[in-house]
Amino acid sequence: MSYWRSLYESIRSPDVLWPWFAEHPDLVAEVRELGRPGSHRIAPGHDLLERLYALGRVLDLLIADHPRAYPAFCAALGAHRVDRTDFHPFFHEVAEVRQAADPGEPPSVVGERWPGFMVGTLLLARAGVVVTAGERHLVAGVADRSAIYWTHHRRHRPARDLSHGWGHNSQWRTDARRDYLAGGRFHYNVDGTERPADRAEADLVRHRCGTVTDPGGDLFPYDLRHVEPAMLET
């Protein structure tokens, strides 16, 4: 059994987290290694991706049930908090849309439900944000309530990943999705093997959900990868 899975199944109180870190420095070092420059070009193998997936399940659980412990947990992994205030789907997961009167108004972050974190160049978790936006960009009830892919659990919306539908043990043999900010580019789902066929597929990889229309919860986008310039202000 993966040690990350074991941690997930043992979390009843945040108190179990800190002794666990002391007992498993090798796993912490492994996560930090995945964030080193150039890691987006290296295939880490299924075993490591499965461990990273189990870590993602731990993060989902902390976000949902132990939000006060979640930032300290990420810091103990060596992660730094996402400090980007301009909305971007690489950094931000839409937790709530407040519909703007102007249909063309671009998304703007007006609140944060939980922080996001990166380990070096690797995105560990996106920040959950409240945004105002015109309906040409993000529609309330779609961008914040439609099925969110590459995610095991969210309290406020359906979640879908490759573990769903498998048995208790088989579901843990799921590979994690890896996203990187490297070389002036956003690299989404770097272990995917196919390019999006159109803008709708690219946006699904970027946002992990529908934005204007609900695509439903029965899609299979997990093989798609996408790269785009990182237009970031300094």
Amino acid at 130: V
Output the pLDDT for position 165: 78
Output the pLDDT for position 3: 86
Output the pLDDT for position 234: 36
Establish if 125 belongs to a structural domain: yes
pLDDT tens, residue by residue, 133-177: 999 999 999 999 999 999 999 999 999 999 987 766 778 999 999
pLDDT band at 232 (very low <50, low <70, confident <90, very high): low
Establish if 121 belongs to a structural domain: yes
Q: Which of 92-101, 156-165, 214-223 has the lowest mean pLDDT?
A: 156-165
Establish if 156 belongs to a structural domain: yes
What value does the mean pLDDT take over residues 111-134?
Answer: 98
Is pLDDT of 1 > 90?
Answer: no
Establish if 102 belongs to a structural domain: yes
Phi, psi of 172 (to 5 degrees): -80, -5
> Cα–Cα distance between 124 and 34 in angstroms, integer?
10
Establish if 217 belongs to a structural domain: no
Establish if 181 belongs to a structural domain: no
Establish if 116 belongs to a structural domain: yes
Residues 86, 109 contacting (CB under 8 angstroms): yes
For the chain, the domain total comes to 1
- Domain residues for the domain of 68 are 3-176
Establish if 171 belongs to a structural domain: yes
- The percent of residues above 90 in pLDDT, for the chain, comes to 91
In this prediction the pTM is 0.95
One DSSP character per residue, 124-182 reads EEPEEEEEEE-TTT--TTTTTTS-EES-S--TTS-EE-TTTTS-TTGGGGPPPP--EEE
